[in-house]
Amino acid sequence: MPITEFDLINTFFTQQSVHRPDVALAIGDDCALTSVPHNKFLAITTDTMVENSHFYPNINPRDLGYKAIATNLSDLASMGAEPAWVSLALTLPKVNESWLQAFSQGMFKILNEYNVALIGGDTTSGAVPSITITAQGFCDKNTVLRRDQAKVGDWIYVSGTLGDGLAGFHLISDLYQSKKSAVNLDEEFLIQRNLHPIPRISLGLTLSRYQLSCCALDLSDGLVGDLGHILQHSGVSAVLNVDHLPCSRSLINLYGREQAELLALQGGEDYELCFTVPDHQKAFLERYLAPLNVPYTCIGRIVEKNPTENIIYQRQGKMVDLHISSFEHFK
Amino acid sequence: MPITEFDLINTFFTQQSVHRPDVALAIGDDCALTSVPHNKFLAITTDTMVENSHFYPNINPRDLGYKAIATNLSDLASMGAEPAWVSLALTLPKVNESWLQAFSQGMFKILNEYNVALIGGDTTSGAVPSITITAQGFCDKNTVLRRDQAKVGDWIYVSGTLGDGLAGFHLISDLYQSKKSAVNLDEEFLIQRNLHPIPRISLGLTLSRYQLSCCALDLSDGLVGDLGHILQHSGVSAVLNVDHLPCSRSLINLYGREQAELLALQGGEDYELCFTVPDHQKAFLERYLAPLNVPYTCIGRIVEKNPTENIIYQRQGKMVDLHISSFEHFK
């Protein structure tokens, strides 16, 4: 007897261990029913991953399940939101039980870690595998992190290391296209950074709670492109110290410092936070961020809007000329 | 200069005329920010439409935009929810501006009609066009319509006419595959019923508000399949009077009454509501539903769980033997 859509949902997607009191009705009816705390904003984000655009057919479905959730939680982190629920829209050419088993394991692993409930979704047949996640969470109404709140004089910070996601993507591509057959430890690190981004939830919550920042976003399209959004929406420009860019040991080992910096500037899929901190809050940053054990680096400063260059690049305090384009769909 | 993802979003998806006070931040940041009324549940639903699974490549994008929203609002209707916001995840092989123009027009037409705001989403490139909508709305906490609340003795009702959606789908298929080159007025009616389902929002709200029903769902997979969900979740069975099934004049003209009944029983994509009404509320139904101008028909009754037949079919009060399977993805 062929497995039906409903059997499939029941088998793989109702086995979660997260049970939240704010979910009155989860999977199984036409809608999920939830409650939102009275004094909070509901933060809502949606992201799609499509085979051959965002991942290769040979990806481990466990990694795919993890990453599809992680990238959406990263959007919640960047608003200073506490994640609560996700919906899953999954399109597959056919039912493959071992694939679904691994995919759901990867998904529930990260959902459990962040106490997020899967509340519903849709499974459909279609020629190209595709995953759309809608993630929701709660923000304090007065301390939201937005991309349009950067002010002249703010310091620009990023979490973690940059460029790993793009370098990892190149390595995954080379392996998939058989341009490469084995990886060393540095390469494996970069691949893992691409497949397992860490949503910076605690960082976003801390920046918001202590009002250390009111301006952040997550680096999905690369620093230059995403910082560009902050600058455009806030009506300001930036000075970036490229020699301050945090690059992983593995990235530098493989590419050298200068090429690593370019990957850090252009690279997509880092899923680190970029945030700005007013000068008078800079001293409090270390105190409040220390317990989180999340690396962070000051990489520049917000300046008055520059009519010709949105971002002014410096190395050791001297202007350098760099031409960097950001990652784009539909390019 | 090629159009970028962000230009695309700005051009086509920020031109809405619905502005709701419960949307603090819509398209443009990592998340949308919204508020939910204190005493309400948030109802959340997600549905995907994939080319060649749910629509043909030659569909008018205006119809596609309309239908993608309508089918999601129908899920909100079936819970007795008032729609509030949608997110759109759109996957396209390439940017086609006239296509996007028409798609967004169809989408905003129905969003405006129901005062629903587009709050965000994601546009991605992928080989097969695909649309995932997440729709959200508000329910009264004490009068939700659920599929597990049917009680023995309840009368079973449906809105509108059934079978049109499936018949319309067959006609659309025949035209696409050049098995047919022109349609008559009856055929055109059925095609329009498939392309422009009416989400029964006012009906769902009225059933909930006056507690005329506490059990409903929308008929996306066909009456037999969807009523089957009510019966399974509620632990009951049903007697269906197939000669009472509401069929459109066009469906009967084209197929004859008996074949029309079979289409009504099996047919998917009707997006009408099926709901159960306790005997003591039956008399109030007409009073409260009359102002809505929504057709509705009593088609049977909930009975004790029958160990062998989930649905007992009757014609003119006598049992008839029908074997009907419901529509399924992944069949």
How many whole angstroms separate alpha carbon A241 and alpha carbon A75? 25
Can you tell me which residue has the tokens 């029908």? B322
Phi, psi of A309 (to 5 degrees): -125, 120
Q: Between chains, do B29 and A79 touch, taking CB under 8 Å as contact? A: yes
Q: Between chains, do A126 and B4 touch, taking CB under 8 Å as contact? A: no
A–B interface: beta-carbon pairs under 8 A: 226
Collect all residues of chain B within an 8 Å Cβ-Cβ radius of residue A218.
30
Which is it for the CA torsion B102, B107, B112, B118, positive or negative?
negative
Write the burial class of residue A105 (CB in 10 Å: 0-12 exposed, 13-18 middle, 19+ buried): middle
Q: Between chains, do B81 and A35 touch, taking CB under 8 Å as contact? A: no
- CB-nearest to B41 from A33, A42, A148 is A33
Q: Between chains, do A125 and B50 touch, taking CB under 8 Å as contact? A: yes
Q: For residue B49, what is the nearest residue in chain A, using CA coordinates?
A: A124
CATH no., domain B155-320: 3.90.650.10
How many whole angstroms separate alpha carbon B313 and alpha carbon B315? 7
Closest CA to B299 of B174, B155, B164: B155
Residue span(s) of chain B under CATH 3.90.650.10 come to 155-320
ipTM over 0.85: yes
Report how far apart the first and last C-alpha atoms of chain B are (Å, whole number).
45
Q: Which residues contact B178 (CB under 8 A, 6 or more apart)?
A: none
Q: Between chains, do A79 and B31 touch, taking CB under 8 Å as contact? A: yes
Can you tell me which residue has the tokens 């901190």? A277
User: Which residue type, as a one-letter code, is found at position B299?
Assistant: I
CA distance to partner chain B, nearest, from residue A218 (Å): 8
CB of B249 within 8 A of CB of B321? no
- CB-nearest to B76 from A31, A130, A233 is A31
pLDDT of residue A1: 38
Collect all residues of chain B within an 8 Å Cβ-Cβ radius of residue A134.
44, 46, 87, 89, 134
pLDDT by 10s per residue, chain A, length 331: 355 666 776 788 887 779 999 999 888 888 999 999 999 999 999 999 999 989 999 999 999 999 999 999 999 999 999 999 999 999 999 888 899 999 999 999 999 999 999 999 898 889 999 999 999 999 999 999 999 999 999 999 999 999 999 999 999 999 999 999 989 999 999 999 999 999 999 999 999 999 999 999 999 989 999 999 999 999 999 999 999 999 999 999 999 999 999 999 998 899 999 999 999 999 999 999 999 999 999 999 999 999 888 999 999 999 998 877 655 544 3
CA distance to partner chain A, nearest, from residue B275 (Å): 13
Q: How far is CA B46 from the centre of its chain?
A: 12
Residue span(s) of chain B under CATH 3.30.1330.10 come to 5-140
Reduced 3-state DSSP string for chain B: CCCCHHHHHHHHHCCCCCCCCCEEECECECCEEECCCCCEEEEEEEEEEEECCCECCCCCHHHHHHHHHHHHHHHHHHCCCEEEEEEEEEEECCCCHHHHHHHHHHHHHHHHHCCCEEEEEEEEECCCCEEEEEEEEEEECCCCCCCCCCCCCCEEEEECCCCHHHHHHHHHHHHHCCCCCCCCHHHHHHHHHHHCCCCCHHHHHHHHHCCCCCEEEECCCCHHHHHHHHHHHHCCEEEEEHHHCCCCHHHHHHHHHHHHHHHHHHCCCCCCEEEEECHHHHHHHHHHHHHHCCCEEEEEEEECCCCCCCEEEEECCEEECCCCCCCCCCC
Q: Between chains, do B123 and A54 touch, taking CB under 8 Å as contact? A: no
Q: For residue A52, what is the nearest residue in chain B, using CA coordinates?
A: B126
User: Which residue type, as a one-letter code, is found at position A167?
Assistant: A
Q: pTM score, two decimals? A: 0.92
At the topology level, CATH places domain B5-140 in 60s Ribosomal Protein L30; Chain: A; (3.30.1330)
Closest CA to B49 of A212, A74, A122, A232: A122
Q: What is the pLDDT of residues B95-143, one digit of tens each?
A: 888 999 999 999 999 999 999 999 998 988 899 999 999 999 999 999 9
How many whole angstroms separate alpha carbon A318 and alpha carbon B4? 32
Which of B13, B25, B27, B46 should one mutate to test binding to chain A, selecting the residue with the greatest count of A CBs within 10 A? B46
